[in-house]
């Protein structure tokens, strides 16, 4: 098991945070057993809520991408409605999200 549960705090989640941001995370979903998918979805939703809208620009959205990583977070540009993968963002935009992660980590 990937050692996460529904009650994992952000400190625990942060060790896997980039797996939650990419459809190929958790080794393309191979590290997630069928019975763990519900946990991944729950944690993904908690993480998206915790992230919130970043810089009045990027809203986290949960994507279900079976057969890949079953659930991951993509970002919607609230101004254009365009969906953007974290890894496809410009570096400046990724850093805004990274700063949000740092703010969240500071709370735990």
Euclidean distance between CA atoms 108 and 8, whole angstroms: 12
Residue 105, token pair as written in the block: 């980590």
Asked whether residue 3 is assigned to any structural domain, the reply reads no
Asked whether residue 5 is assigned to any structural domain, the reply reads no
DSSP string across 57-76: TEEEEEEE-TTSSSEEEEEE
pLDDT band at 22 (very low <50, low <70, confident <90, very high): confident
Q: Which domain covers residue 93, as residue numbers?
A: 10-107
Asked whether residue 40 is assigned to any structural domain, the reply reads yes
Euclidean distance between CA atoms 26 and 72, whole angstroms: 10
Q: Which residue has the tokens 């809520």?
A: 49
Look up the pTM and report it.
0.86
Q: What is the pLDDT of residues 62-98, one digit of tens each?
A: 998 767 888 999 999 999 999 999 999 999 999 999 9
Q: How many independent structural domains does the chain possess?
A: 1
pLDDT of 1 over the 50 cut: no
pLDDT of residue 2: 67
């Amino acid at each position: 098991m990937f050692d996460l549960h529904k009650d994992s705090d952000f400190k625990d989640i942060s060790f896997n945070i980039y797996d939650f941001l990419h459809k190929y995370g958790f080794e393309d979903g191979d590290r997630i057993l069928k019975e763990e998918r519900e946990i991944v979805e729950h944690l993904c939703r908690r993480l998206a809520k915790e992230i919130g809208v970043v810089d009045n620009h990027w809203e986290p959205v949960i994507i279900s991408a079976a057969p890949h990583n079953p659930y991951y977070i993509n970002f919607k540009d609230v101004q254009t409605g365009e969906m953007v993968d974290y890894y496809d963002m410009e570096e400046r935009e990724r850093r805004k999200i990274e700063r949000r992660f740092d703010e969240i980590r500071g709370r735990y």
